Structure 1
Amino acid sequence: MHTKPHALTRTGAALALALAALGFTACTTTLPNQNATPAEQRAEINNAADSTLQRLYTAAPGSQELVDRAQGVLIFPEVISGGFIVGAEHGKGVLRVGGQNAGYYSTSAGSFGLQAGAQSRAIVILFMTQEALNDFRNSSGWTAGVDATVAVATVGANGRVDTSTIKEPVVAFALTNAGLMAGVSVEGSKIERIDL
């Protein structure tokens, strides 16, 4: 009877060590950017955002027309997630309105489930209506799925963006190096404006 709590304590300690190690790994992935000046960080985000949009247009035919119709486009070129059982993700991005940079933002979220190692994905969020964009810009901290329902765009059988998601006021795309991610959710992602 007395060995079970001891074994659980050892298991808990091992899990804590694994979490700490993976958390450190995820943090070191983003450390080089922390030493950059604000101007360098803005330039890096802007260049990566341009590349992300080009990847999106290639991976999801029809997405460029959707982006062009959006009132605002929020681009997170690299959202890094890491952890084991309990995970966290973080990234920086830019909001573009009328093709112009309109502010810089950070996204963060926690998750629960079997996962290991650091992974990276790009997230593009489209505000299809002026009201949705205004609600986002006027918030002091906007959470996907709480402050607005976010429809994750999918590619239909014809290989083009599924137009049924276009009816939603907020639409998101998630990309990896392999292409568009299917069955992914951005709900729970907290987005806040940052000074850069």
Structure 2
Amino acid sequence: MKIVKSLILVLALSLTANMAAQSEKDKKVMADAVKAKEALLEAQSGLQKFFDNSAGYVIFPNVGKGGFIIGGASGNGVVYEGNQVVGMAGLKKLNVGLQAGGQAIIEVIFFETHVDLNRFKEGKFQFAAETSAVALKSGIAFNAKYKEGVAVFALPKAGLMADASVGGQKFSYKPIIM
């Protein structure tokens, strides 16, 4: 009986430690997302209308992209519905083609309707191969529009890469219970 109780205690403690570690990682990504939103608005105040009027959005504060012929991208983000955090997101991309370099970007995806946001949350969302993000350095956020229920913006943080595509990105979603 003592062995069973000991095993249950060890299992409970290890699960608690794993949940705390995950929660610390999520807290860091959330803090980075707040800073990323500030940087996005500083770079292009026209984004405020998207933050105010979208059904929801995902901010990926640190997307790393890199490649030479074969490339990839990955990042973790925060999902907002209204302006409330509802979950965490993951981004992955693998592609083959003409590309070279490495880059760190902030990426934000706005969802025009709750149907569009729910598609993302249900795992039924993926960009078409030809999709590109609006680069905020170009200053055209004021005139940007939703396409098929989404609008995507990217703000380069560091590096140089000849690739603005977001096509082929795959996403994961994990709800947060607050």
Shorter-chain TM band = 0.7 to 0.9
Asked if structure 1 preserves the Cα contact closer than 8 Å seen for 2:136 and 2:153, the reply is no
1:37 aligns with 2:21: yes
Which residue of the partner structure matches residue 95 of structure 1? 79
Q: Which has the higher strand share?
A: 2
Gaps of 5+ in 1: 1-35
Asked if structure 2 preserves the Cα contact closer than 8 Å seen for 1:150 and 1:172, the reply is no
Which residue of the partner structure matches residue 92 of structure 2? 108
Deviation digits for residues 145-170 of structure 1 (CA, Å, limit 9, x no counterpart): 27xx967346698x452425246510
User: What is the CA–CA distance in structure 2 between the aligned matches of 1:50 and 1:188, rounded to whole Å?
Assistant: 26
CA apart distance, 1:61: 2.3
Which residue of the partner structure matches residue 133 of structure 1? 117
Which residue of the partner structure matches residue 176 of structure 1? 156
TM-score computed with the length of structure 2 as normaliser: 0.73
Pair 38,193 (structure 1): closer, same or farther in 2 beyond 3 Å: same
Deviation digits for residues 8-31 of structure 1 (CA, Å, limit 9, x no counterpart): xxxxxxxxxxxxxxxxxxxxxxxx
1:188 aligns with 2:168: yes
Aligned residues, how many?
Answer: 155
TM-score computed with the length of structure 1 as normaliser: 0.67
CA apart distance, 1:111: 2.2
Which residue of the partner structure matches residue 127 of structure 2? 144
Asked if structure 1 preserves the Cα contact closer than 8 Å seen for 2:110 and 2:152, the reply is yes
Identity %: 33
Q: Runs of at least 4 residues of structure 1 off by over 3 A?
A: 113-118, 149-157
User: What is the CA–CA distance in structure 2 between the aligned matches of 1:182 and 1:128, rounded to whole Å?
Assistant: 29
User: What is the CA–CA distance in structure 2 between the aligned matches of 1:186 and 1:85, rounded to whole Å?
Assistant: 16
Pair 40,122 (structure 1): closer, same or farther in 2 beyond 3 Å: same
What residue identity is the alignment partner of 1:145?
A: A
Pair 117,150 (structure 1): closer, same or farther in 2 beyond 3 Å: closer
CA RMSD in angstroms comes to: 3.0
